[in-house]
Structures are given as C-alpha cells and as structure tokens.
Amino acid sequence: MINWKVILNIAKTHLLTKIKQTAIAALGVTFGIGSYITLVCFMTGLNTMLDDLILNQTPHIHVYNEIEPSEKQPLDFYSNLENTFSVIHSIKPKLSQKKIHNALPIINYLNQNKNVRGAIPQIKATIFYIAGSIELGGNLTGIQPIEEAALFNLQDYVIEGSPTDLRNNENGILLGIGIAKKMSLEVGDRVQISTIKGDLFPLKIVGLYQSGISEIDNIQSFVNLKTTQKILGEAENYITDINIKLYNIEEALPLSKKIEKQFNLTAIDIKTANAQFETGTTIRNLITYAVSITLLIVAGFGIYNILNMLIYEKMNDIAILKATGFSGKDVQYIFMSQAMIIGFVGGILGLLIGYGLTSLISTIPFKTEALPTVETYPINMNPIFFLIGFLFAMISTFLAGYLPSIKAKKIDPVKIIRGQ
C-alpha cells in the first residue's frame, strides 16, 4: 500500500532543499502560463472590439426592395423580331419605387417570429447638406431612435447628444462627425437638407454621430422616421428598409431566404453582406490561437527540460531512497509529486500574474478617432482561458515529470553508489 503522507513529505523536503532549482522550475511554469493568459486575453479582446465595431451596427438581416431591370425587355414580347437586327430609341425604365409595400404588416409579422429579437423600419434617402455656401452630398436615414439604440447600440456611436435627444426633437438631426467638421458645425447649429427635388428643410443638430469609418462619417446622418417622411413628402407607411436582429445569428441565412420567397423582397443576411470581414475575423482568431498554443508548447518543453535536470541532480537521493527500502514505484511517485506541486504552484502564480498584467493593460488609455467609445485597451477575461491555462500547467508538468520519473524508477542504486 502506498503511504502518500511519507511520499509527499519526501517530495516537499526535496523541493525545499533545492529551493533554487525548484524556484526556476516553478517560474518556468509561471512565465509560460502568465504569457499565455496575457496574450490570449488581449488578442481576443482586440478581435472582439474590431468585430463589434462592424457587427453592432449591422442588422442580422437587411430587407429592402431592390430596383433592377425587368427580366423581359420590350423586344422579348415580339417573337417575330427574334432573328432581326433592331435599333430602339428612348426606352424608359419601368417605373419602380424603393418603397416596401405593406412594410408595417411585414414588420409586425416578423416581430412575432420566435427567432426575431426585433424588426424595425428605416427610410434611406440621398440628400444634400447645405450650410452657408457649402453644399455636400450625403445619405439621410430615418430611424426610430430608441429602438435603434436598443437593437443596434446607436448610443455607442453618438459622441455628443443622445438618441433620446433626437426622439424628443421632431426637427432634430444626428449629424455625421465628418460632415460637421467639413462644414464647421456643432451641436445646436442648424443645417439645411435639400432633397433631389430641390425642397429645403432646416434641421437642428442635436448630436454628432461617429461610426469610426470615415467613408460613413463623411456622408451619414440620422433623423426621426416621421421627419424623413415629411422631408420626402411621403405617407406614414413609406418605408424603404427593414432591419432585423435575431437571437441566434445562425438563423439569419434560412430566415432571409424565407423572407425573400414569402414577400418577394431582397433579404441579405449578415454573413453574406460581410463575407470579407468574416474571413478577416477567422484569420485573426486563427493567428491568435496558433500563437497561444505555440507559446504553451514551448513552455511545456521548457518545463520538461527543467524537471529532467532535477532528476539527474537527485541521482544520489534516488540511490539512498532505494537502498533504504523504497521501491521503484515509490521513487516514481515521489518525483511525480514534485512535478505536480511545481505545476500547481507555478500554474496559480501564472494565473495571478496573467490576471494582473491584463488588468493593468485594461487601464491604459486608448484614444483614437476611429473608435470614439473605446477609452482603454480592450481585454477579454474569459474564465475558459484561465481554466485552459491551469489545466495545461498541470498536464504539462505531469507529462514532464512522468517521463523522467520512469528513468528514476529503473535506476540501480548499486551502480550509482559505486560510480561515486
């Protein structure tokens, strides 16, 4: 029967008598695990921030009425002209509207779907911004501010004012920061909106919007849904777009296909609309985990080398143990216990150091115009990372101790003593 109390006491004594080597071995584990925790928490936090920059503003499904050429052109209706050369002048395109017919009933129907977190209307229009002698082209989007904030985090991209200010001001506008800078405008000023028909509407700037993408910030602004309908001279049921947020993003593709078939509209799911972005995210995550795993493997080899050296330094101790009646199995358990103690202590210290470093990084100021709502470096302290780090510390030290302990088990004490 194995006397674990004696084995653990001997293991502890060996570790304390060679405190320098023990400390080096434990520090090897600590450094490896601490580096892994710091790297993976920082890199995944950075990747998540970059993903959120795009995905938080993007609906899981975007529904609109796409204007496209008719499948059948005028000549297709005249079979007798199939094999003739015809020249046609002044063909007018089919009169089509961006409006989604029966948009409000469709939105009500979608909101009853158990997979849909929310479906909200939008109106998109091409307009001109006018301030003094400056005139800029851009896009005006009519929204329901509170619902937009709840589903798509609009408030995270409003650097002055708030969605509530827009809702409470019928003639208010959230102006893109790029437009405001070009036209030297600020909150409280007025800007005139000109439609493509030439109608002018003065609006008060109640907030500034910054997405972090200059191409958007230089043209985009938001107003209330009803205000857009009034500017365009349209009825209250005039809707050009429907944005849908789901509980599970994986349901986006099948639901978009269903919407297209059921309502004869164009429905684009988020993965199709952001295919290139998805590829970039996958590559970044792959690099992050590849580097993290490599770091752990390198740390594992370092742990093995250190523990292997400890075995060779304790040859005399092994010989004495066997000479005093300890079996090869007992010797193996002693050295395995030492390895596991080193792994446990080094792993815990590594987790604490990793936590400390990531906490320190999360307090470092990070200011950039591209990310207005980010004030410090992003960190993702997922408990899974800490669990993986600790398990790796224990498993790697177990393996690193197991292989040399087999050698210790087979050592002949007579040869060791005679070799002296």
pLDDT, residue 343, reads: 85
Q: What is the mean pLDDT of residues 263-270?
A: 90
* Helix (H) / strand (E) containing 223: strand 220-224
Give buried/exposed letters for 19-51 (b at 16+ CB in 10 A, else e). eebbeebbbbbbbbbbbbbbbbbbbbbbbbbbb
Q: Inform me whether the pLDDT recorded for 247 exceeds 80.
A: yes
The chain-wide mean pLDDT, for the chain, equals: 83
Measure the CA–CA gap between 109 and 94, rounded to whole angstroms. Answer: 30
Residue 378 pLDDT level (bands cut at 50, 70, 90)? confident
For residue range 291-328, list pLDDT tens digits in order. Answer: 878 877 777 777 777 767 766 676 677 777 777 777 77
Per-residue pLDDT for 119 more than 90? yes
pLDDT confidence bin for 177, thresholds 50/70/90: very high
pLDDT band at 70 (very low <50, low <70, confident <90, very high): low
Q: 3-class DSSP state for residue 79?
A: helix
What average pLDDT does range 170-198 have in this prediction?
Answer: 92
- Answer yes or no: are the C-beta atoms of 153 and 186 closer than 8 Å: no
What are 75-116's pLDDT values in tens digits? 666 666 667 776 766 665 554 457 898 999 999 999 999 999
Distance CA 44, CA 377 (A): 12
Cβ-proximal residues to 182 (8 Å cutoff; 6+ apart), any chain: 134, 136, 218
Cβ atoms of 219 and 139 closer than 8 Å: yes
Question: Of the candidates 36, 22, 40, which has an alpha carbon nearest to the alpha carbon of residue 346?
Answer: 22
Determine which helix (DSSP H) or strand (DSSP E) holds 312, and give its type and residue range: helix 275-313
What is the domain partition of the chain in residue ranges? 4-55+278-419, 97-246
Assess whether pLDDT exceeds 90 at residue 377. Answer: no
Position 391 pLDDT exceeds 70: yes
